[in-house]
Amino acid sequence: MAKKYRELAEQVVENIGGGGNVDQAWHCVTRLRFNLHDKEKVNIDTIKSIDGVLGAQFSGDQFQVIIGNTVSDVFEEVEPLVGGSGGAPEGKGQKQGALSAVMDFISGIFTPILPALAGAGLLKGFLALFVTVGWLKDTGDTYAVLNAIGDSVFYFMPFFLAVSAARKLKTNEYLALAVAGTLMYPTFMNAANGFTDAKSFTLFGADFISIPVLSYASSVVPIILGVILLKYVYNLVKKVIPSVISLMFSSMITLLIVMPLTLWVIGPLGTNLGNGLSDIFLWLFTHAGPVAGALMAGLMPLIIMTGMHYAFVPIAIQNLNLYGNDAVLQPMMFISNLGQAGSAFGVAVRTKNKALRQMAISAGISATIGITEPAMYGVNMKLKKPFVYALGSSAVLGAFAGWYGFKAFALGGLVGVFSLPVFADPSGASAAIIIAIILFVLSLLLPFILVLILGFEDIPEDGTTVKADSEPKQPIATDKQGSIQSPLEGTIVPLKDVSDATFAEEIMGKGIAIEPSVNRIVAPISGTIMVLADSKHAIGIKGDNGEEILIHIGIDTVSLKGENFKAHVATNDRIEAGQVLVEFDRDAIKEAGLEAVTMVIITNTADYLDVLPLNESGPIFEGEQLLTLVK
């Protein structure tokens, strides 16, 4: 098994441009995440086709490879290949957008501490559940000890975030811990808790430097801002201090600058910022609960796909710290994750494809636990309708949860069946856990029923597509039909909607058009290259079974005279299905004022009874069946 993970890791690293192209690498529950120096080196289509990879995508400027449950095993093999965090020469990095940089930073500092958060949060959830059902009293020594274990991670949150933020920012972890230690020092904590009479602290006898008394226990934003300040101050001090005495004095001077500023300005600013964000979401769920719940639960899979759910983790922690509960992240993710599981289980029951059934069962179980990527990418999105059913049912139940005020009382890590205890009210009231169980059942059941009743386009054993809500049609005999694969990934456009009348009126033959989302054309069949225009924008292929196919990249792109096109084959070359034929720059084509829509035409249409597109609209993937030729 280790060999399998090593081979997978090697293929991934090779196709992201090698270890030298990696600035930082880490993983979350299901994905390998990379910050790259040059994203143009990524062979995303090749990565998607690797056995063991569920999908790959750019989220902002972060590249994500979706692995599933075995991601930690794969990452163990990836890490030595990228040299820890990578090491390309200076100046090779690419500038990130502001939003991408923020999202990347947040996910980078919270992902490493998820095991601690999950373990401690789930323990607190079970304690609340045991109190609710009467198995444990919240006044005994056992409860006190177990609660201390579960609460410690959250109480000392600044220490955990100090380490992960320092690693993400590539600054000294122990100085970052010193910042957290100062924030949590008993002098300040005792004053904040009212154990002393101090109301503020004056520094250097300057009345205007008045450090307010605040508790930084369980806080998130202040320590993150403090470590950001530490990074820049420490780097500056090290440049100024002579190297001979740098070891002794750089750290001391850095702390003397960073800590007063943090206690005086940054800490209070971060506290107010965190409290403000929590207040906004509290107001939203209080005054527009059904709308907020429907949007949050219904769109959660799309939020997860982009990795933006990490932006809500600090808010969830802050809400737990301020109000003792979280109504934003975990309740809606709970409903959404189970919705994906319910759809996958529905597919498992409805499909006639044995391989798909096995995949759907496995993915459904994973989603029930809280890992949704196998269900989303491997089953529901692939079949389209089950994904829509999951989104719709989650939105409906999210609206109810927002109206009712469904809350989590601890942070539970993977949000699924094992996180049920975090919805138990620590006060012992039973209503909260009863509602959680009801929502658990309904979140699974509603999309499951929708899939069974409304059906979907099934994938039988032979790979063709038929409706799962009707009897399979009798296939035409194989010697009377042929299939053409899609030569690129994109969105299907009916030929009649193309702006060039030659294609729209089917003068050259029947076919289909595709608005590309990638920059390459692959062979849709095996055969021979009969025509390759000097401008590289048009390829004529003679298939092994007599098919004559024209692939025309863009409209009026002959005017570019081959600029932004690169051919990988020549006339009379033998080709195999899936082989790369031409690469092109669709953005450059559009910048030239031209359309990049690509036509796939059967130029010997007269030799067939009909040429039938498999679909008239929607997304199409490279290698997916595109046209059927009926003789």
Instruction: Look at residue 561 and give its three-state secondary structure.
Output: coil
pLDDT, tens digit, for every residue of 234-291? 989 988 888 777 777 888 899 999 999 988 888 888 888 877 777 787 788 888 889 9
In which region does residue 83 sit, left (phi positive, over 0), alpha (psi from -120 to 50) or beta (all else)?
Answer: left
Q: Distance between CA 588 and CA 77 in Å, rounded?
A: 38
**Which pair of structure tokens corresponds to residue 194?**
């009212």
Q: pLDDT value at position 59?
A: 66
Whether pLDDT at 448 is above 60? yes
pLDDT, tens digit, for every residue of 202-241? 877 777 778 888 888 878 888 999 999 999 999 899 888 8
Q: pLDDT value at position 98?
A: 60
Whether pLDDT at 322 is above 90? no
- 65 and 43 Cβ atoms separated by less than 8 Å: no
* Residue closest to 551 by CA, chosen among 524, 575, 569: 524
pLDDT, tens digit, for every residue of 9-40? 889 998 988 888 888 787 766 678 888 888 88
371: pLDDT confidence band, cut at 50, 70 and 90?
confident
Sign of the Cα pseudo-torsion (49, 53, 55, 56, in order): negative
309: pLDDT confidence band, cut at 50, 70 and 90?
low
Which has more pLDDT, 472 or 598?
598
- 412 and 422 Cβ atoms separated by less than 8 Å: yes
Which has more pLDDT, 487 or 381?
487
Whether pLDDT at 163 is above 80? yes
User: What is the arithmetic mean of pLDDT over 337-359?
Assistant: 88
- 345 and 353 Cβ atoms separated by less than 8 Å: no
| Known catalytic membership, residue 139 | no
Q: Distance between CA 159 and CA 171 in Å, rounded?
A: 15
Q: Which of 16, 28, 129, 532 is catalytic?
A: 28
Whether pLDDT at 154 is above 90? no
User: What is the arithmetic mean of pLDDT over 547-575?
Assistant: 89
What is the chain's alpha carbon radius of gyration, rounded to the nearest angstrom?
Answer: 29
Residue owning tokens 């605040």: 214
Calculate what percentage of the chain has a pLDDT beyond 70: 89
The domains found in the chain, sorted by start residue, are 2-88 (3.30.1360.60), 156-286 (no CATH), 478-630 (2.70.70.10)
Mean pLDDT, the chain, integer: 82
Residue 485 backbone phi and psi in degrees, to 5: -80, 160
Rounded to 10 deg, the angle between the 221-240 and 267-287 helix axes is: 150
Instruction: Give the torsion through C-alpha atoms of 611, 614, 616, 622, to 10 deg.
Output: -110
Which has more pLDDT, 38 or 529?
529
Instruction: Look at residue 124 and give its three-state secondary structure.
Output: helix
* Residue closest to 341 by CA, chosen among 293, 386, 310: 386
Alpha helices in 170-312 (DSSP H): 173-183, 186-192, 221-240, 243-261, 267-287, 289-306
How would you class 564 by CB atoms within 10 Å of its CB: exposed for 0-12, middle for 13-18, buried for 19 or more? buried
Whether pLDDT at 99 is above 60? no
Least confident of 24-28, 62-66, 151-155, 512-516: 24-28
Whether pLDDT at 144 is above 80? yes
92: pLDDT confidence band, cut at 50, 70 and 90?
very low
Q: pLDDT value at position 111?
A: 72
The type of residue at 395 is A
Instruction: Report the run of H or E that residue 116 belongs to, with start and end.
Output: helix 114-132
User: What is the arithmetic mean of pLDDT over 88-108?
Assistant: 55
Q: Largest alpha-carbon pair distance within the chain?
A: 95
Q: pLDDT value at position 481?
A: 55
Q: pLDDT value at position 103?
A: 63
User: What is the arithmetic mean of pLDDT over 501-506?
Assistant: 80
HSE, side-chain direction, 13 A CA sphere, residue 46: 15
Whether pLDDT at 571 is above 80? yes
What DSSP line would sit under 391-430, residue for residue? HHHHHHHHHHHHHHT--BSS--SS-SGGGGGGGS-TT--S
